[in-house]
């Protein structure tokens, strides 16, 4: 299995901790932040394989964050995955329009969550080759 570098942005520290633990258990390196404004410069330096972004955040919402990430060369090769409790198709479509590669809905289940993240990264890498 390939180990990936993953960055999580979610304003809920508990969700960050859960997703981090699951991905680390699967052999990945994970960093996280609870605010978009402080996450963006860290992501620019790290250039992770994947960036997981919550939709509903106080400071900068996930759609704005994805648009910002897609405008930066440092995250052009990253798989960007929206992780949210919003299940309405409108949000799925808006996330795709903003540049999300995938869209996962909470509540999350450990095995399928990790598999979907790994699959999204592999698909993004294959498209970029």
Q: Where are the domains of the chain?
A: 5-121
Query: What are the C-alpha distances in Å from 95 to residues 30, 54, 102, 120, 125?
Result: 22, 11, 8, 15, 20
Please report the pLDDT score of residue 125 as a whole number.
86
Taking only the tens place, the pLDDT of each residue in 17-74 is 999 999 999 999 999 999 989 999 999 999 999 999 999 888 788 999 999 999 998 8
pLDDT (mean) for 95-101: 95
Q: What is the mean pLDDT of residues 98-123?
A: 95
Distance CA 60, CA 121 (A): 24
Q: Is pTM beyond 0.85 here?
A: yes
Homologous superfamily, domain 5-121: Response regulator (3.40.50.2300)
């Amino acid at each position: 299995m390939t180990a990936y570098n993953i960055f999580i942005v979610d304003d809920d520290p508990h969700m960050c901790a859960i997703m981090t633990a699951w991905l680390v258990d699967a052999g990945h390196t994970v960093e996280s932040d609870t605010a978009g404004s402080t996450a963006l410069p860290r992501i620019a330096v790290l250039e992770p394989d994947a960036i997981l972004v919550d939709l509903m955040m106080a400071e900068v919402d996930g759609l704005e964050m994805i648009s910002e990430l897609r405008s930066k060369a440092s995250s052009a090769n990253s798989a960007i995955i929206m992780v949210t409790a919003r299940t309405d198709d409108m949000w799925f479509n808006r996330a795709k329009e903003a540049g999300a590669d995938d869209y996962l809905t909470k509540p999350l289940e450990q095995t399928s969550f990790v598999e979907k993240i790994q699959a999204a990264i592999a698909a993004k890498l294959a498209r970029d080759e």
